[in-house]
Amino acid sequence: MTQTTPDNVPHVPFSADTQAKFAREVAKFPAGQAQSAVMACLSIIQHERGWVSRAAEDELAAYLGMAPIAVYEVTTFYNMYNQQPVGKFKINVCTNLPCQLRDGQAALAHICRKLGVTVGGTTADGQFTVQQSECLGACADSPVMLVNDREMISFMSNDRIDDLLATLAQAK
């Protein structure tokens, strides 16, 4: 399978529908504060395209009337924004200290070994991307993972990881 990369995907300008969604977010803020909608607009782009390309960041910066660097600062600070294409299931494994103390690193190693990828990698079939993350705010439940930025998975023993991967693999 040919992997999609940031370099071989031509930028498609935002559609009128996408811009209408942006406008609804911008309207939530006082006049002259359009850049306050940057996170919501980035989420819209990612929801529609699966990731946020540099070209999309630049076009959004122009739309919101802000410097491109200010958009890059947001996308690079929050790891929920995908700066390159990811698999159907993006799994973030917390390796911050509390999770580390309860086998967070071992959980990350196990999931990478099971999927045959390195951290940050995507499986050849495009199904799974594994990433390392900072604290997900559920330290008492460690080790913790987040699937597709939405679903928190707690107490991830190797057996539970195996079950999770099997369940996701069947969710075609």
Q: Which residues bind ligand FES (CB under 6 A)?
A: 94, 96, 98-99, 135-139, 142, 144
Closest CA to 25 of 46, 44, 6, 47: 44
User: For residues 86 and 107, which CB has a smaller minimum distance to ligand FES in the complex?
Assistant: 107
User: Which one, of 74, 53, 48, 47, lies nearest residue 9 by Cα?
Assistant: 53
Are 118 and 129 spatial neighbours (Cβ–Cβ below 8 Å)?
Answer: no
Question: Token match 């811009």: residue?
Answer: 19
Shortest distance in whole angstroms from residue 107 CB to ligand FES = 10
Residues 102, 108: Cα–Cα separation, whole Å: 12
Task: Identify which of residues 120 and 137 has a Cβ nearer to ligand FES in the complex.
Answer: 137
Q: CB 150 → ligand FES: shortest distance, Å?
A: 15
Closer residue to ligand FES, CB minimum distance, 34 or 138: 138
Contact 143, 156 (CB under 8 A): yes
Q: How far is the CB of 135 from ligand FES (least distance, A)?
A: 3
Q: Which CB sits closer to ligand FES, 88 or 102?
A: 102
